[in-house]
Each structure stands twice: as structure tokens, then as C-alpha cells.
Amino acid sequence: MRLRDQFPLLTSDPKLHYLDSGASSQMPSAVIEAVTRFETTQRANVHRGVHRLAEAATAAYEGGRDEIAQFFSARRDEIVFTAGTTAAINLVAHSFGDALAPGDEIVVSELEHHSNIVPWQMLRDRRGLVLKVLQVTDEGRIDLAALDRVLTKKTRLIALAHCSNVTGAVVDLARVVEAAKSVGAAVLVDGAQRVPHGPLDIPALGVDFYAFSGHKMYAPHGIGVLWGRHSRLEAMPPFMGGGDMIRSVTFEKTIYAPPPTRFEAGTPNVSGVIGLGAACHWMSGLDWTRIAQEEMRLTGRLLDGLAQVPDLRVLGPLGLQQRIGVVSFALGQAHPHDIAQILDRHGVACRGGHHCAQPLMERFDLPGTTRATIAPYSEDGDIDALLTGLDEARRLFA
Ligand SMILES: Cc1ncc(COP(=O)(O)O)c(C=O)c1O
């Protein structure tokens, strides 16, 4: 059976070549059914009720946390639910960042998604910090050789993407963690593009925070996770106040709940958590060695095909080492939106634009790129359709 057959949206349209999973992946039936089951048989608010439905909803919700924790080899009290990667990073920028002192330094890189740039700029301006930027090599990788020059005794946090959403480059986190330790800095990883590509032992990475979104890993929109090392979370104040995140409230004083509840004010995205738990369960049943091989075979095939297109420039590593199947390219002077529209006529869903990474576009002097993402359900036919569409684009724009 093709993996694609587990995805109702893909089977409903055999002519669709969905290569935009870097933006949002599709959801398998197992996830859709888990969410539908909750909404049709268990829907109620969690934690507060004592009636049967409320208890069933709470059990399903906390069961989702267990499933997610197990998938990432983490403690359940280290899994904080957020609306996504952006919300997770903003949480750290407030709860960790607001304790920093003027002159303290935060290090990001030139290839970060805006969600791992703007919250730090806002924090810099709130607290009088210094924001330092690691440059990107011509191959589209973060230049880790510069770490020694950039880090100082004042570095408090290094915040980097595990995998670039533009170039597909995977960063050597062991090297980042070692460098961070040498100056006593914390490490936050934006794992949005890493998590769709298989299981991961997050605590073993040695980082302090790991942020990701459900909608890129076969789960619903609007749910994400901040994984935080327990000692870090315990030392942090809440970002938002409200229901659920307290132990007790009087007008004189509120005592906060321990993590993760401390960071989860208000009614949570219950069906999102259940969907993300189901996605983790579904992912843990797959053969990721085979999927990784297949993803790399298709990525190689795509890169080979792109190499044959005149006047086309790939932004990112041309080899298959230390990369995921996120492939960005520019075709002559053609605007990426125009290319994406022509590809759409061939049934190919690709992303065209700056991918929320304007500083990286500036680094490569481009207004944007066209991006294709290889996912577990990608097939040879998707690559063929993309290359055929590009051929038409080239003829139109040449
Ligand atoms: C690398 C990276 N970081 C962060 C984000 C933001 O994720 P979200 O919009 O789900 O918060 C994205 C989404 O495209 C991404 O690719």
C-alpha cells in the first residue's frame, strides 16, 4: 500500500502533487479520525469538570501529552502546549528573556524564520540586549566556524533552526551545544522543519528549549509544543496569566502551578493535542529508515533534475548530507509567485516567496525562491510534474 493512500486529501485528488509540506503537511486518516472521535463522542472542557464527558476529555487530552512525550523521549511535564512554533518561541522570549539584563547577548543566524528573529528583536528592545547574527555560508548553512568569535561571556542564549525552511540545511547541534556550554549560554532550537522527518530524542540533544508545530507533522493547525528542560521551566515565571495555570489565587497573591500547567493559561486546544498525540502515534508505527532513504532518493532526483534546467540556481546544499528534502530555487529573473502559479496549472503545489526569511533572501540577493518539500507521501510522479511545469515556466520566462 502506498503511504499516500492514508491521506484522504491526496487520494481525493490523484492529479495533485503536494510539495508544500514545509508550510503545512497533510493529515493521515488516523489523525482525522482521532479528532473526529473526540469531537463527536468526548467533547467537553478539560481539567475542570467532574462529569463523565469532562473526565473522558481530560483523559484523552492528557493521553495526548503522554503520547507526544513518549515519541520525543521526554518527560510529560516538559511538554508545554502552545499554538505553534511561533508561540513557543515568544513564550521563551518572555518567560526566560525578560529576566535578562541590559547588555546581555542573544545569538541567532541569518537563515532563521522570522518567528526566530522578531521575538528576540522585541526582547532586545524591551531589555536593552544585544542581538548577534551568525552568517550563512554560500552553501546555505549556518557558519558555525564563527561561533567562537561571536560568543562571549555575555551570551545568554543561542536560538537556531534545527533545519532551514529555505535551504534544507541541518545544523550540527552537538557543536552548538558544546560552544554554548563553554560560555554558559542556553540553547533554543526551532525544530519546526525537523519534526516531520521522524522520531527524535529531544532531551539527548543537550539543548534547553525545543519548539515545534503540529501542522507540519501531520497534525492539526493551531497546536504546537515548547519542550523545555525541567530545571529551566521550573525557574521561569509564566508568560500569560489566567485560568488553569494557578495553584491558588487571592487578591494579595497568586501561587502558580508547576510546569507545564504554569505555561498553559486558559482553555487549551484540546482537539489539537489529541490530533498531535495521534500523529505521534501514527509516526511511531512507520519505518523511518526506509522513509528517510526514500526522501533522500527523491531529493537527489529533484536536485539532479533542477541541475539540468538552464539559468536555475538552487539555494542550499547540492549534496544529500546533513539536509532534509526542502529544496529552494530561483529561475532567472522570474518571480517565484509566477513560477508557483505555473506549477499550480500542472497540479503542483509549491511555495513561492520569501518564506518568512527576508534576511536570508537579502543575503542571496533574491526577492524570494520557489520551494518544494519532500514528505513521506511524496512520489516520483510529484518530481516529474514539478520538472515538467518548470520546463513550461522556463520557456515562458526565457
Ligand atoms: C523553520 C520554521 N520556524 C518557524 C515556523 C513558524 O511556525 P508556525 O507558523 O507554525 O508557528 C516555520 C513555519 O513555516 C518554520 O518553517
pLDDT digits (tens, 9 = 90+) for 237-267: 999 999 999 999 999 999 999 999 999 999 9
pLDDT band at 358 (very low <50, low <70, confident <90, very high): very high
Instruction: For each of the domains in the chain, give its residue range(s) and CATH number, in order of start.
Output: 3-25+287-397 (3.90.1150.10), 30-284 (3.40.640.10)
Please give the number of the atom of ligand 1 that sits closest to the Cα of 224: 10
Nearest Cα residue to atom 13 of ligand 1: 23
Q: In what order do the strands lie in the sheet with 312-315?
A: 312-315, 326-331, 369-373, 351-353
Please give the number of the atom of ligand 1 that sits closest to the Cα of 356: 14
- Count of residues in the chain: 398
pLDDT digits (tens, 9 = 90+) for 346-355: 999 999 999 9
The span from the CA of 327 to the CA of 315, in Å, is 7
DSSP letters spanning 186-223: EEEEE-TTTGGGS---TGGGT-SEEEEEGGGTTS-TT-
pLDDT digits (tens, 9 = 90+) for 84-100: 999 999 999 999 999 99
pLDDT band at 397 (very low <50, low <70, confident <90, very high): confident
163 is catalytic: no
90 contact partners, CB below 8 Å, separation of at least 6: 119, 239
The span from the CA of 130 to the CA of 132, in Å, is 6
CA distances from 290 to 43, 163, 294, 380 (A): 37, 20, 6, 15
List all residues whose CB is within 6 A of at least one atom of ligand 1: 84-86, 113, 115-116, 161, 165, 190, 192-193, 213
pLDDT at 376: 98
Report the separation in Å between the CA atom of 40 and the middle of ligand 1, taken as the mean of its atom positions. 30
pLDDT band at 48 (very low <50, low <70, confident <90, very high): confident
pTM for the model: 0.98
pLDDT digits (tens, 9 = 90+) for 160-204: 999 999 999 999 999 999 999 999 999 999 999 999 999 999 999
Nearest Cα residue to atom 7 of ligand 1: 85
Report the separation in Å between the CA atom of 86 and the middle of ligand 1, taken as the mean of its atom positions. 6
pLDDT digits (tens, 9 = 90+) for 79-137: 999 999 999 999 999 999 999 999 999 999 999 999 999 999 999 999 999 999 999 99
Question: Exposed (0-12), middle (13-18) or buried (19+): which is 320, by Cβ within 10 Å?
Answer: middle
pLDDT band at 34 (very low <50, low <70, confident <90, very high): very high
Mutation to probe ligand 1, out of 20, 24, 85, 109 (largest number of atoms < 8 A from CB): 85
